[in-house]
């Protein structure tokens, strides 16, 4: 045992027993994003470190303490991506895809943050993200939110709460930040150690503190409302109206500030109360200044990303979870001479019934042990090919769930019979 090699803390294997959940979730997500006219972009997992330093903000938790950064053999500083937005912007500018065009895109894949692992918080996790470029109005904000809502409905996840806020323009945000620094500095002695550190680095994140002892102080802190510019206020009011028109409930949370520096205007989070401390399932907002910050034109943008593991956790416990991925049928082969015939039969069935999930027995063994394996596989039906069947040109068909007897079906009619019995 001491000789075995363990995986890395906070980086999990997705085991076969969970494969059907992952696959179904990915299918539903891809289906919805494609149907809304979003196209996939596949991005590298590693970027130059400056991609993240320049966009997420040097004082954010991610950049200051959570990035997997290393020097490669050329001496370049590279970083495993902690999120997808920055790399997406880098790629669009590099390939000239933002010139005079709007873009609606999605991406998926692993992200890496060296956070303290706990339930729902991993060091390698997966995101599905969507980003829209070149659109200024609240209509696109509403579309992105509606897309998430549709996903929750299709997955049968009923109890997510949408929290919404606006951070205003960069200038409004700066004034607000200054007001927070003044307020929390006056109460420095009452701050918990983490908030005291944030006061220097990233004062708006103090509003995110989960320390119950901080609640009273945070409740009495200045609110963004008083600093909001007229344009952002109007955008936010229109977004609220659009969400009401399409029947999406939301709660305005003036303390929602997000942990990345690139946001302005609309920000939102879908939150679950069923996931403990790590309740944010999906989050996003506007980042109108980011393209320019990467050397591109002033192109507005908005998007979101969801944590796939967190969505899966909710999906696994939701009532509408689909069945397992057990095979429909298990092919039992009795006798060496039947082997070639059985394999041929299996290939022919796969041609005739493309949706058939057929597990063929390999590795020999007695009839009894093969039936045991067939039963354990969860298959609905065992197909039997032995000497007798070979002689008669038939296949044995034995329902494995219930008491029905084995029957004999002419090989030429097997596909039609399986189609009928399995509803394929
Ligand atoms: P984020 O809030 O940092 O935003 O991450 C989005 C989601 O990823 C979270 O709501 C959560 O579900 C999941 N997540 C984050 N960290 C972890 C972790 N350590 N373990 C498990 N899940 C995690 C962004 O990444 C932005 N790029 C979203 C965005 C796209 N904004 C605009 N466009």
- Distance from the alpha carbon of residue 158 to the mean position of ligand 1, in angstroms: 21
Q: In the chain, pLDDT over 90 holds for what percent of residues? A: 80
Burial 39-59 (b: 16+ CB within 10 A, else e): eebebeebbebebbbbbbbee
- Distance from the alpha carbon of residue 108 to the mean position of ligand 1, in angstroms: 12
- Distance from the alpha carbon of residue 84 to the mean position of ligand 1, in angstroms: 9
- The stretch 15-37 carries a mean pLDDT of 93
Q: Nearest 5 degrees, angle CA 55-CA 90-CA 175?
A: 25
Q: Of 306, 266, 288, which Cα lies nearest the Cα of 98? A: 288
* pLDDT value, residue 101: 84
- Distance from the alpha carbon of residue 306 to the mean position of ligand 1, in angstroms: 6
* pLDDT value, residue 280: 96
Higher local confidence (pLDDT), 86 or 258? 86
Q: Write the pLDDT tens digit of every residue in 329-347.
A: 999 998 878 888 999 999 9
- The stretch 156-183 carries a mean pLDDT of 93
> Do 378 and 395 touch, CB atoms closer than 8 A?
no
Q: Write the pLDDT tens digit of every residue in 306-337.
A: 999 999 999 977 654 545 578 999 999 988 78
Q: Write the pLDDT tens digit of every residue in 246-263.
A: 999 999 999 898 889 899
pLDDT(18) > 70:
yes
* pLDDT value, residue 200: 84
pLDDT(237) > 90:
yes
* pLDDT value, residue 355: 93
Q: Is residue 304 in contact with ligand 1, taking CB distance under 6 Å?
A: yes
- Ligand 1 pocket: which of 83, 89, 259 to mutate (most atoms <8 Å of CB)? 83
Q: What is the DSSP string of 249-272?
A: --EE-TT---S-TT--SEEEEEE-
- Ligand 1 pocket: which of 65, 121, 260, 283 to mutate (most atoms <8 Å of CB)? 283
Q: Write the pLDDT tens digit of every residue in 1-14.
A: 578 999 999 999 99
pLDDT(369) > 70:
yes
Q: Is residue 281 in contact with ligand 1, taking CB distance under 6 Å?
A: yes
**Can you tell me the distance from the alpha carbon of 322 to that of 339, in angstroms, rounded to the nearest whole number?**
34
What Å distances lie between residue 396 and 76, 159, 373, CA to CA? 64, 48, 17
> Do 340 and 334 touch, CB atoms closer than 8 A?
no
Q: Write the pLDDT tens digit of every residue in 42-65.
A: 999 999 999 999 999 888 889 999
**Can you tell me the distance from the alpha carbon of 343 to that of 322, in angstroms, rounded to the nearest whole number?**
30
pLDDT(364) > 50:
yes
Model confidence band, residue 209 (pLDDT cutoffs 50, 70, 90)? confident
Model confidence band, residue 385 (pLDDT cutoffs 50, 70, 90)? very high
- The stretch 127-135 carries a mean pLDDT of 98
Beta pairing partners, 390: none
In angstroms, what is the C-alpha Rg of the chain?
A: 28
> What are all long-range contacts of 196-204, with beta carbons under 8 Å and residues at least 24 apart?
201/59, 201/64, 202/57, 202/59, 202/60, 202/61, 203/177, 204/173, 204/176, 204/177, 204/180, 204/257
Q: Is residue 126 in contact with ligand 1, taking CB distance under 6 Å?
A: no
- Distance from the alpha carbon of residue 129 to the mean position of ligand 1, in angstroms: 9
* pLDDT value, residue 320: 46
Question: Where is average pLDDT lowest: 154-158, 200-204, 357-361?
Answer: 200-204
- Distance from the alpha carbon of residue 363 to the mean position of ligand 1, in angstroms: 46
**Can you tell me the distance from the alpha carbon of 234 to that of 224, in angstroms, rounded to the nearest whole number?**
14
Torsion angle, alpha carbons of 184, 190, 195, 198, to 10: 40
* pLDDT value, residue 277: 85
**Can you tell me the distance from the alpha carbon of 287 to that of 267, in angstroms, rounded to the nearest whole number?**
9
Beta pairing partners, 180: none
What Å distances lie between residue 244 and 17, 230, 239, 256, CA to CA? 40, 21, 9, 20
What Å distances lie between residue 132 and 27, 129, 216, 236, CA to CA? 21, 10, 38, 18
**Can you tell me the distance from the alpha carbon of 209 to that of 218, in angstroms, rounded to the nearest whole number?**
8
Q: Is residue 55 in contact with ligand 1, taking CB distance under 6 Å?
A: no
* Average pLDDT taken over every residue of the chain: 93
**101: helix, coil or strand?**
coil
């Amino acid at each position: 045992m001491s000789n075995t090699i363990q995986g890395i803390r906070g980086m999990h294997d997705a085991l076969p027993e969970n494969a059907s959940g992952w696959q179904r979730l990915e299918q539903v997500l891809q289906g919805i994003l494609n149907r809304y006219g979003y196209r996939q972009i596949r991005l590298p997992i590693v970027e130059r470190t400056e991609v993240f330093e320049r966009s997420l903000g040097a004082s954010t938790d991610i950049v200051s303490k959570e990035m997997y950064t290393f020097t490669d053999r050329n001496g370049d500083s590279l970083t495993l991506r902690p999120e997808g937005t920055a790399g997406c912007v880098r790629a669009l500018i590099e390939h000239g895809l933002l010139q005079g065009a709007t873009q609606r895109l999605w991406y998926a894949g692993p992200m890496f943050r060296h956070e303290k692992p706990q339930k729902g918080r991993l060091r390698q996790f997966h995101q599905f993200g969507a980003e829209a470029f070149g659109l200024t109005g609240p209509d696109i904000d509403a579309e992105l939110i509606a897309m998430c809502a549709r996903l929750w409905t299709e997955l049968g996840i009923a109890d997510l709460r949408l929290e919404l806020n606006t951070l205003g323009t960069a200038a409004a945000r700066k004034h607000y930040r200054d007001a927070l620094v003044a307020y929390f500095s006056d109460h420095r002695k009452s701050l918990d150690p983490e908030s005291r550190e944030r006061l220097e680095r990233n004062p708006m994140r103090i509003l995110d503190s989960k320390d119950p002892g901080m609640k009273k102080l945070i409740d009495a802190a200045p609110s963004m409302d008083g600093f909001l510019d007229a344009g952002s206020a109007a955008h936010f009011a229109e977004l609220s109206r659009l969400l009401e028109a399409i029947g999406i409930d939301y709660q305005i949370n003036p303390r929602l500030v997000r942990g990345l520096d690139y946001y302005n205007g609309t920000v939102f989070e879908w939150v679950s109360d069923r996931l403990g401390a790590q309740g944010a399932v999906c989050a996003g907002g506007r980042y109108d200044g980011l393209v320019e910050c990467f050397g591109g034109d002033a192109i507005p943008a908005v998007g979101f990303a969801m944590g796939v593991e967190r969505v899966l956790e909710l999906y696994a416990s939701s009532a509408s979870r689909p069945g397992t991925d057990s095979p429909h049928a298990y092919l039992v082969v009795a006798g060496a001479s039947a082997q070639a015939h059985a394999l041929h039969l299996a290939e022919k069935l796969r041609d005739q019934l493309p949706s058939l999930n057929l597990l063929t027995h390999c590795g020999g063994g007695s009839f009894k042990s093969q039936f045991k394996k067939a039963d354990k596989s969860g298959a609905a039906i065992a197909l039997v090919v032995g000497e007798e069947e070979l002689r008669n040109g038939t296949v044995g068909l034995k329902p494995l769930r219930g008491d029905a007897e084995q029957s004999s079906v002419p090989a030429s009619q097997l596909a039609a019979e399986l189609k009928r019995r399995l509803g394929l």
